Amino acid sequence: MEKRRELICIKCPKGCRIAVAMDGDEVVGVEGNSCPRGEEYVRKEITSPTRMVTSTVRLIGSDMNVMPVRLSGEITKGKIFDVMKEIRKCQVKAPVRMGEVLITDVCGLGVDVVAAAEALDVLG
């Protein structure tokens, strides 16, 4: 039995309303996207949604208490809480360079937690 879902594309500022026809778990039709990225986005969002995670970690030895971090790639939506649990455990000592790996292969997902900014130590 075919069912329809509607999503709003987030790949560009247009925010196309895209209608997706489903037959069970299979996407059988996509309408309403104004570019190929929209179709690619909804197919992935319905079959295997992923997200980029950004957060902060505690910072020691700096005038900042926390610093921003991000993942080096996307993870499946269902693993976000596991990754956030690991990020909350992390604290780093200044100085830290932007792009520096703070947690390698977080939760065995093949992505790293990296510094998203520079953090100088109190003296530097």
Look up the pTM and report it.
Answer: 0.80
- pLDDT, position 52: 95
Three-state secondary structure call for residue 85: helix
On whether the CB atoms of residues 95 and 69 are closer than 8 A, the answer is: no
Q: Beta 91-93 vs 101-103: how paired, if at all?
A: unpaired
Domains defined along the chain, listed by start: 2-48 (no CATH), 54-115 (3.10.530.10)
On whether the CB atoms of residues 37 and 13 are closer than 8 A, the answer is: no
Rounded to an integer, the average pLDDT of 99-118 is 97
Banded pLDDT at 123 (limits 50, 70, 90)? low
- pLDDT, position 116: 97
Which residues have CB under 8 Å from 121's CB, separation 6+?
Answer: 61, 62, 93, 94, 95
- pLDDT, position 2: 76
Average pLDDT of every residue of the chain: 93
- pLDDT, position 85: 98
pLDDT digit string (tens) for 21-61? 999 888 999 999 999 999 999 999 998 999 999 999 999 99
Structure tokens at 87: 């990020």
Nearest 5°: the CA angle 51, 52, 58 is 130
User: Does 124 have pLDDT greater than 60?
Assistant: no
- pLDDT, position 9: 93
How many Å apart are CA 31 and CA 12, to the nearest integer? 16
Banded pLDDT at 1 (limits 50, 70, 90)? low
